[in-house]
Amino acid sequence: MKGLRTARWILAGLFFVMSAVYLAFGRQLLRFASLSEKSQIIPSAITVSIGAVLFWLVISFVYGRLYCSTVCPVGTLIDLSSKLRRLMPARRRRYRYRNRHKVRFHIATVYFVCLIAGISVVPALIEPWNVFRNIIGTANPASSAAAAVNLGIGAATGIVAGAVSLLLIVFAAVFTGREFCNTVCPVGTVLGLMGSNSVYRVEIDPDKCTGCLECEEACPAGCVKVVGRFVDDARCVRCMECVARCPENAIRYQPGRNRVATPMMRGVKPHGR
């Protein structure tokens, strides 16, 4: 199962570099880099390229939030930043299961209302492609100026927003992993709804699991609860860290759910049926 994590990192790295190059230099440097923008959900929705939106909704329904582990550059930036946790004492660098926050639905509602109403400030600050554009813009103010003016927020505001976004995302990633993805990002909220009952899912095999907690401690989304052998699919970003870490191959990315381990806890078929 380590191969899944490797494949995921290769794809994420490719899209991350393409996105950064495209946003910093446009299409001059790498013509195919524009593919990174065409693959993003919200820019595709805004340019009425409904194909990409439908594609990702269907993919999320079947495979879960693969978008969040491969295509989104902010997700990759968060995962890269969270590597800084290695500098913390061993006890503090482990993740723990976190409860869901309903506030993500309120944030997503405000975001979509602003998007429809043409109020650009909220989408400029929390929509991942805009966040990444702002961040890249701090490194290349010329591209930032153009993007910020297009968004109607002014070049200086765009550059400041980029610097603040970068600091906040790195800080949040180090201390909370993918909390931005599961609380603030409206795209993550929508994909989470699609992926909450996806066909392929991360599942713990209760017959093999020894309860060592390695998977829970490796999960940046805080969505694995070893007690109860539970994985919250709506928040799982399919990063494959848990499946690569498990020494028993007991947590797997697979189609369908596992059955309950203890026979006495399985549903008993009544006699005569």
Binding site for ligand SF4 (CB under 6 A): 68, 72, 74-75, 128, 181, 185, 187-188, 202, 204, 209-215, 218-219, 221, 223-224, 226, 231, 236-242, 245-246, 248, 250-251
The CB-of-89 to ligand SF4 minimum distance in angstroms stands at 21
Q: Which residue's CB is nearer to ligand SF4, number 148 or number 221?
A: 221
CA dihedral 117, 120, 125, 128 (to 10 degrees): 80
Q: Which residue's CB is nearer to ligand SF4, number 37 or number 214?
A: 214
The CB-of-253 to ligand SF4 minimum distance in angstroms stands at 7
CA-CA distances (angstroms) from residue 77 to 21, 169, 174, 183?
Answer: 14, 8, 11, 17
Q: Which residue's CB is nearer to ligand SF4, number 89 or number 247?
A: 247
Q: Which residue's CB is nearer to ligand SF4, number 62 or number 155?
A: 62
The CB-of-86 to ligand SF4 minimum distance in angstroms stands at 16
Q: Which residue's CB is nearer to ligand SF4, number 68 or number 151?
A: 68
Q: Which residue's CB is nearer to ligand SF4, number 154 or number 211?
A: 211
The CB-of-145 to ligand SF4 minimum distance in angstroms stands at 24
The CB-of-172 to ligand SF4 minimum distance in angstroms stands at 11
The CB-of-271 to ligand SF4 minimum distance in angstroms stands at 36
